[in-house]
Structure 1
Amino acid sequence: MSGMKRRALLLTLTAAALTVPAAAQDGAPTDFADAFAVDTSDRTDLPFDAGVVALADPARRSLDAVPARRAVRPGTPVPGTPPQLNASVTVRYGSGSPSAVLLLMPGYLGGAGSFDRLARQIVTLRPDWAVWAVDRRSNLLEDHAALLGRDLGTLGGVARAGLPVRSPASLPFMKDWGLDTTLRDWRAAVLEARRLTPNVFIGGHSMGGTLSGLYAAYDFGGVPGARDVRGLVMLDGLPGLMSGTPLTTDEYTQAARNPLGPLPGLNNLTRDPYVNSVVFSPKFASRAAAQARLAALAPDAPAPSGGLILFPAINLAAAMTQLEQRYALLPFLTLNTGRATNASEAPNLGARLLGAAFPGAGDTRWIVGPQDPARPVGWQTDPAAPTDPQDFARRFVTPLSDYSEWYFPNRLTLDLAAARTDTRGTPFEKILPVWHGAQLALPVLGIAAARGVTTEAQYRQYAATTRAGLTTRTLPDAAHLDITVTRGDQVARWISDWMQPLTR
């Protein structure tokens, strides 16, 4: 079995549970006038004590000084969607009158908060630039109010039980929040940026890298998306990533499968509008955000019993064992920050069976519990690792954004599986007009994570199908998520050095 096939098999086996059919939830808001009230003006950063961070971080003061604001603007109108949710949302770092703007799209299950550190790093290097991090419109369905306080008891309650979830029946319009909606919302922000400067670039992490390439190849009423921008930045992601084999029209309508697992077909999206499974759901996302907040405020305090983990641990360990590459359930949702202490570990036999299918997968471990039952499982930060866990926890949720996308639309995953890299000559040519990939002549920067999901060779394979000029880099020791949150500014410098000669 080839390496690529082994990797696809591992992703399928570990992520199949991501698309368990959604179930109705009690306690969700149903009054759309109240539930979806959106402030369409700029929202500046609110007074917010994020909690402790690694005090040894020499960049903290300069990064925190970068101005940031949240902007909600009109997006593409989608029939049936409440008007307040037809929105294009960005978190804007840096100058309000920039000489260049980089718009970054988050990955699968990701939110604008996933770029908070990287955006601040780029603007620190280039104060005359701006970075606009995208929140897809489904992030407007989230309510972070209960997560932003300092009351540990309240946060512990959310970590145990989660926040009320909007039922699938209350969100029938999400069935239309697919590729076209996502790209047109993004284009609204791109065109606004172009009114400020001609030097507009787009990019993204993971699936956001996929969407970057598809945006450039998309036909917006006779205008290729590539005309809007100077270049593309792809961070451990590219068109075709995790798309699987081409879909038939029956699969697209009834049910499909790709490396992320089974996908509900178009006819089933009203019943299953968003990802809701045993490993990720809106309820789990709110619990994870609460645990991250606890890890920021009280990293060494005991984690809530009955929370995210089944064994006694401190808050930082409870948060980081969900994503640390050594312990994480899903190998494409991982960081490299450190390791658990006082932990009794066992091999993850499922990952070991597949061995080299994914970098580091054969070393994945389960934490059974504490070695010394009198003490909780702790956490040892590795100062040589790419990411600082306390800084990661501190930035996970703020008044401006959060790291994840609680209500991820299944329609978007389905459309990505159908579009792949080009729809010319496919059954989806008219409904998903990804037509201009072969003519793409923009500069492309592809940055791989050494222990992530792409390689420089894959970027070269992609570029060979286009006319794009390609530059590639690889971040050493980095897992897939490290690439946007790494404590060093190497990624930011690569982006800055690549963009600067392209600005005019």
Structure 2
Amino acid sequence: MSLNTPFAPARQDGSMKRLALTLLGLISLTLARAAPTEPALQRVPVQRVLRPGLSVAGTPANLNVSITLRYGSKTPGTVLLLMPGYLGGAGSFDRLARQIVALDPKVAVWAVDRRSNLLEPQNRVRFASRAQLETLAREGLPVLPAEKVAYMKDWGLNVTLNDWRAAVQEARKLTPRVFIGGHSLGAALSGLYAAYDFGGQRGYNDVRGLVMLDGYPGLLSGNAVSPQEYQQGANNMIGPIPGTDNLASAPYVNTFFYGPQLASRAAAQARLAAQYPQAPAPPDAFLKWPATNLAAAMTTISQRYTFVPFLALTTGRATNVRETPNPLPRFLGGQDSQRIEGPQDPEKLIGWQGDAQSLTDAQDFARRFWLPLSDATEWYFPQKLALDVAAARLSTTGTPYEQTLPVLYNAAVTLPLLGISAQNGVTTDQDFQQYAEGHIKDLTLHTLPGAAHLDMTYAKSDQVARWITEWLAKHP
């Protein structure tokens, strides 16, 4: 097992100076290589590819699809397929994927969109005028009634992993050096993929290694789910999940902190923040006081102000505001969470500014939150996937779910693992070590200092990308 360790002290002899100069040269070379410019990131080619996914009875044929955003070469030496987290979309990897490819053009990154992303009327956001975006930021788009998408009740772990596997198998036709990974729940799903029985084929045989970004198998599992709970309703760390009896009437996540309407509003506000950052935001959209578009967008997701601290960025703070401590996010684990009580000067807009501690640039985040090929979120996240992950935990061997959720080979997964945690995120070195104990010996761990959960894929620094490319190069 390899962990982050400092260099051992050099011998005190005549080679000390040469060693120091060599190390300095290597460090300088690494830093130079690991600093692609913004134009270099934008030159990375990307295309959205749809392929046949798992055919599911009752699902419209046009939705039985495996979707990837493919960054980099069409003839790569290595392919890394990344699965987004809970409520996340392929667009959430845009900056990180470009950084990885810019650092090592031999690597292609294929970011996954789960099939439910096809339910999003993205053209309504894409072609909206400024006035229409302002209306959307306040009102959102109409939400698909549950009865219209009741087929989502079957979009669980088996569907998600088999759709992903369709892309993995295509990647293997290009190169044997195929790796999978993900962020948050996506990291958990990469471990479940490795342990899954795909009709007699073991998942870990498909890939060369795993990359987990502030997430691990078991992250959203909690206590064991009984067959009665699986049928009638269960809980995970996020909250209640409907059971199979109720999935047809509640097939997607729709809560006070997230749902399709809020997701469409956020997409519209992000576009306004990207195009008109200092202009006044739509009244009563995301802030009830006059604010800039950038401030309205960032106060919903900044670690300082969000109600959901595990879905947060470190990206600065609001200006011209009166603040008081916010107890709810602090109860949920938030640090220094504040509530905006209004403007200091009612004659001025509430604004936004970065600071020295900001890992993510607010303007860059706003630009990447909504992209023509994909956005950062999954508007209609299937409840069945959350239920199955809670039931599967690390293994279903010897459980009531052994046949329906065949996560059977966790103990046989010996793949190399790169685990990167956010210092203020949801995962620690100990979580990765506990997951790997007894079956994974090649374990490399890093922690991104000062990072919140979402900084892992949006940070200005390319440190995460550098760790990934260096690790991939060491695992041929």
User: Of 320, 336, 339, which residue of structure 1 is paired with 2:298?
Assistant: 320
Counterpart for residue 441 of structure 1: 414
Determine the structure 2 residue equivalent to 1:370.
Answer: 343
Q: 2:138 aligns with which of 128, 138, 160?
A: 160
Aligned residue number for residue 64 of structure 1:
42
What is the Cα deviation at residue 95 of structure 1? 0.2
> Which of residues 348, 353, 374 in structure 2 aligns to 1:401?
374
Q: Does 228-237 or 461-470 show the bigger shift? A: 461-470
CA–CA distance in structure 2, aligned partners of residues 142 and 223 of structure 1: 33
The whole-number CA distance in structure 2 between the counterparts of 1:74 and 1:152 is 36
Change (3 A) 1:163 1:150: closer
In structure 2, the residue matched to 1:242 is 220
Q: Could you tell me how far 1:153 is from its partner in structure 2?
A: 0.9
Matching of residues 84-163 of structure 1 within 5 Å: 84-149=62-127, 151-163=129-141
Give per-residue Cα distances to partners, 1:421-449, cap 9 Å, x unaligned.
11111111111000111111100000000
The alignment covers a number of residue pairs equal to 442
Matched, 1:450 2:423: yes
Where does residue 209 of structure 1 map in the other structure? 187
Q: Paired residue for 2:237?
A: 259
Pick from 288, 298, 305 the counterpart of residue 283 of structure 2. 305
Distance 2:405 2:101 in 1: 35
1:489 and 2:462 correspond: yes
The residue identity in structure 1 corresponding to 2:160 is: T
- The normalised TM-score by structure 1 is 0.86
Residue 435 of structure 2: aligned partner: 462
1:243–1:420 Cα contact (<8 Å) kept: yes
The answer on whether the counterparts of 1:139 and 1:407 sit within 8 Å (CA) in structure 2 is yes
Question: Counterparts of 2:306 and 2:178 in 1: how far apart (Å)?
Answer: 36
Q: Which residue of 2 aligns with 1:35?
A: none
Tell me the secondary structure at the aligned position of residue 460 of structure 2.
Answer: coil
Of 182, 193, 196, the residue aligned with 2:174 is 196
Q: How far apart are 1:59 and its partner, in Å?
A: 2.1
Render the CA deviation track for 1:137-165: whole Å, top value 9, x for unaligned: 00000111122247321110110111121
**Unaligned segments of structure 1, at least 5 residues:** 1-56
The percentage of counterpart residues that share the same residue type is 58
> 2-side partners of 1:457 and 1:182: how far apart?
28
Q: Partners in 1 of 2:440 and 2:46 — Cα distance? A: 36
Q: Secondary structure at the match of 1:266?
A: coil
**SS of structure 2 residue aligned to 1:478:** strand
CA contact (8 A) 1:150 1:297 kept: no
TM-score by length of 2: 0.91
Larger radius of gyration: 2
| Deviation string, structure 1 residues 34-54 (Cα, Å, up to 9, x no partner) | xxxxxxxxxxxxxxxxxxxxx
Structure 1 residues 16-59: Cα deviation after superposition (integer angstroms, max 9, x where no partner): xxxxxxxxxxxxxxxxxxxxxxxxxxxxxxxxxxxxxxxxx972
Cα contact 1:440–1:468 (8 A) shared by 2 = no
Shift of 1:105: 0.1
Using the TM superposition, give the Cα deviation of residue 277 of structure 1 relative to its aligned residue in structure 2, in angstroms: 1.7
Whether the 8 Å CA contact 2:314–2:357 is kept in 1: the answer is: no
Structure 1 residue 179 and structure 2 residue 152: aligned? no
Q: State the match for 1:34 in structure 2.
A: none
Q: Is contact 1:174-1:411 (8 Å) kept?
A: yes
Query: What one-letter code is carried by the residue in structure 1 that aligns with 2:399?
Result: T
The structure 2 residue matched to 1:392, chosen from 357, 360, 365, is 365
> Structure 2 CA distance, aligned partners of 1:178 and 1:474?
31
- Aligned partners of 1:402, 1:151: CA distance in 2, in Å? 18
Question: 2:254 aligned to 228, 253, 276, which one?
Answer: 276
Residue aligned with 1:279, SS: coil
Q: Given residue 296 of structure 2, which amino acid in structure 1 is its aligned partner?
A: A
CA distance in 2, matches of 1:482, 1:95: 26
Matched, 1:285 2:263: yes
Change over 3 Å in CA distance of 1:114–1:304 after alignment to 2: same
User: Take 2:445 and 2:57, find their aligned partners in 1: how far apart are those partners?
Assistant: 41
Deviation at 1:350, TM superposition (A): 2.6
1:412 maps to 2:390: no
Residues 13-32 of structure 1 aligned to structure 2 (within 5 Å): none
Output the aligned Cα RMSD: 1.2
Query: Secondary structure in 2 aligned to 1:171?
Result: helix
Tell me the alpha carbon deviations over residues 396-418 of structure 1, each in whole angstroms, 9 at most, x when there is no partner.
Answer: 11111100000000000000000
Deviation at 1:369, TM superposition (A): 1.3
Letter in 2 for 1:369: G
Contact (CA 8 Å) 2:416, 2:441: kept in 1 or not?
yes
